[in-house]
Amino acid sequence: MASVTREQIGNLHDKISIKIDKQDYLPDFEKDIRQFSKRANIPGFRKGMVPAGLIKKMYGPEFYQDAVIKSANKELQNYLEKEQLDIFGQPIQSDSSIPDLDLKNPAEYEFLFEIGRKPEIKIDLSSIKKPIRYKIKPKPEDLKDRLDSLQTQFGELKETDVVVNGDNIIKIQINQIDENGQPVEKGISSEQSLYVKVFTESFQKELTGKKKDDVLKGKLNDIVNSEQYPGVYENLGIAHDDNEKKNASVSVTIITVNNMDKHPLDEDLFKKAYPSRNIQTEEELKSAIEADEQRQWDELTGDQLDHDLYHSLMETSAEFPEDFLKKLLRVTEKEKTEEDITKEMPSFLNELKWSLIIQQIVKDNDLKVTSDDIRAEVRKELAKYFGGADLNSEEFAWTESYVDRVLSDKEQLESRYSKLRVGKVFDWVRSQIEPEEKEISQEDFLKIREEHHHTH
């Protein structure tokens, strides 16, 4: 008769002993042998007529080992379910408890397993400091810049004779050159269309008055304003840390000089900028721009609020079976060294803690993410991608089939489910702790975010 005992060997860390006798596994062993003999194909015997004794002689040790291990695992799972133990991962079998299994001498066997129990999480919102929801107003100059940007975006590109200012767009060929001014084999070679303003002030002055086919030379890092426009190096295919190419000598050949004529403030611009809205006047356009800017700031301050709430929730008391978890990592991530495991343990424990907090809040408050929630989230992502377009219009009739494809992709489905579940948790927490609203300047808010970022 099988017996199971459990002994605590550390914080939330237990050892389980499973003892099984021959009456626990021999009946299944004999049954497996008989069933296999009925379907075995062995030369000299008709199918289903192979003697069980021959099967036992040929394959007995494998069937015996399988029956013993199945019996031990069955007892272990029954015990975990009966005791309702909420554990991390799977039980780990102790190497020292793996017995020698001898078909000729059936005996009592003992298997030892280690488990790590999950801690009990108690969410106490009364101990959380009242969070702050920052309120930021868009600056008039930002709204003006956004309006100018829309006019430029939907404007008309026209070729002109010479470079006049930073708003000119020049199509150029950039080639890396040696000390003799000759192209370097396998060096930088790229054709780009760039605003003149992405270059350094000194190079902009050199460009002023230049025209098609003119050639200029210099060091790349003296030409590109990488601090204000870091994406230029990426466009040129230069890695962020490739200082050799950043310091390379290059020639810049002007292919064309263009000027972007801004789109007039008319009904055509209103439709292009906001196709899903019936904007009729310049004032309505400016109101739409202001609403967009306000929404972006609200999203940033909302993220900051959730960030602060996350840190408050992470102060919830919780202990972990660290010794067991280290063993679990050694078993599941064998490529990692002991040094890797020790180094990553703090962040691993934080991830586990946050996961348990999420699970507890979801369970305590019956929070659910439905398929309709996920469909709405995918549609929201699409609408944002297409600049707030009306996805119900005939032009976007394909979106429903796209949403169906996303829902059928397990990885994408789980990603959005996880995101929405965390969102529902923050929604619930905010509903229980009414944040204090505080007006703040853009500069002070960004400083808070930057300072907080540097503390992690």
What CATH number did the domain enclosing 251 receive? 3.10.50.30
| 328 and 408 fall within a common domain | yes
How many domains does one find in the chain? 3
Q: What's the pLDDT tens digit per position in 113-130?
A: 999 999 999 999 988 888
Q: What's the pLDDT tens digit per position in 214-259?
A: 999 999 989 988 777 777 888 788 887 788 888 899 999 999 999 8
Helix (H) or strand (E) holding 7: strand 3-10
In a domain, residue 277? The reply is yes
| 320 and 392 fall within a common domain | yes
Residues whose CB is less than 8 angstroms from the CB of residue 279 and which lie 6 or more positions away in sequence, other chains included: 270, 271, 273, 285, 288
In a domain, residue 345? The reply is yes
| 450 and 317 fall within a common domain | yes
Given a cut of 70, whether residue 453 has pLDDT beyond it is no
Q: What is the pLDDT of residue 455?
A: 53
Instruction: Point out the domain boundary residue: 261, 293, 309.
Output: 261
Domain CATH for 353? 1.10.3120
| 302 and 445 fall within a common domain | yes
Q: What does the alpha-carbon distance between residue 84 and residue 82 come to, in Å, rounded to a whole number?
A: 5
Q: What does the alpha-carbon distance between residue 282 and residue 263 come to, in Å, rounded to a whole number?
A: 13
**What are residue 415's phi and psi, to 5 degrees?**
-60, -45
Q: Is 165 within 8 Å of 172 (Cβ atoms)?
A: no
Given a cut of 90, whether residue 284 has pLDDT beyond it is yes
Q: Is 54 within 8 Å of 141 (Cβ atoms)?
A: no
Over residues 154-170, mean pLDDT:
91
| 350 and 436 fall within a common domain | yes
| 276 and 219 fall within a common domain | no
More confident residue, 361 or 399: 361
In a domain, residue 143? The reply is no
Residue 31: other Cβ atoms inside 10 A: 12
Q: Is 184 within 8 Å of 176 (Cβ atoms)?
A: yes
Q: What is the pLDDT of residue 456?
A: 52
Range with lowest mean pLDDT among 38-52, 65-79, 332-346: 38-52
Percent residues over pLDDT 70 in the chain: 98
Over residues 193-198, mean pLDDT:
89
Q: Which domain holds residue 331?
A: 269-454
| 96 and 193 fall within a common domain | no
Given a cut of 80, whether residue 147 has pLDDT beyond it is yes
| 92 and 234 fall within a common domain | no
Q: What is the pLDDT of residue 389?
A: 67
Percent residues over pLDDT 90 in the chain: 65
Burial of residue 187 (number of CB atoms within 10 Å: 0-12, 13-18, 19+): middle
Q: 3-state class of 173 per DSSP? A: strand
